[in-house]
Amino acid sequence: MTAATATYGEPVHVCGVADLPEVGAAQAEIEGRLVAIVRTEDGAVHAIDDTCTHANVSLSEGEVEGCQVECWLHGSTFDVRTGEPSGLPATVPVAVHQVTVDDDGQVFVALAAG
């Protein structure tokens, strides 16, 4: 499913931007789903499923560089904008969720369907 055709649930308040690392990720549980809330070097906030599709470990514990988050276990990298793996050994993308930051710096996430 491409981002253009993706459907999303209702936005849920997750945190404030100030609660996130300047560059890095934090884990949130939204409706029973683990999500990595990622803040990139340009200050943008993204949300992806928090589980590496190769090794089933938390991506929010990995390093963020540019728009990539690296799995700490085997070094797979994922583009936080698309969910696509950009470095082996992972070959399956992670889900990308819709993020909104309001005027007060509060982060809301709408989960991708599925």
CATH code for the domain in which residue 81 is found: 2.102.10.10
Q: Which residues contact 53 (CB under 8 A, 6 or more apart)?
A: 76, 85, 90, 91, 92, 93, 94
Kindly state whether residue 4 falls inside one of the protein's structural domains.
no
The whole-chain average pLDDT of the chain stands at 94
Give the pLDDT confidence of 12-23 residue by residue, as tens digits: 999 999 999 999
Kindly state whether residue 88 falls inside one of the protein's structural domains.
yes
Which residues on adjacent β-strands are paired with residue 8?
112
Kindly state whether residue 29 falls inside one of the protein's structural domains.
yes
Give the pLDDT confidence of 27-53 residue by residue, as tens digits: 999 999 999 999 999 999 999 999 999
Judge whether 106 and 12 are in contact, CB under 8 Å.
no
pLDDT at residue 87, as a whole number: 82
Q: Which domain holds residue 55?
A: 12-110
Question: How many structural domains are present in the chain?
Answer: 1
pLDDT over threshold 80, residue 89: yes
pTM beyond 0.95: the answer is no
**CA-to-CA separations, 47 to 7, 108, in angstroms, rounded:** 15, 10
Judge whether 45 and 38 are in contact, CB under 8 Å.
yes
From the centroid of its chain, how far is CA 51? 10
Kindly state whether residue 101 falls inside one of the protein's structural domains.
yes
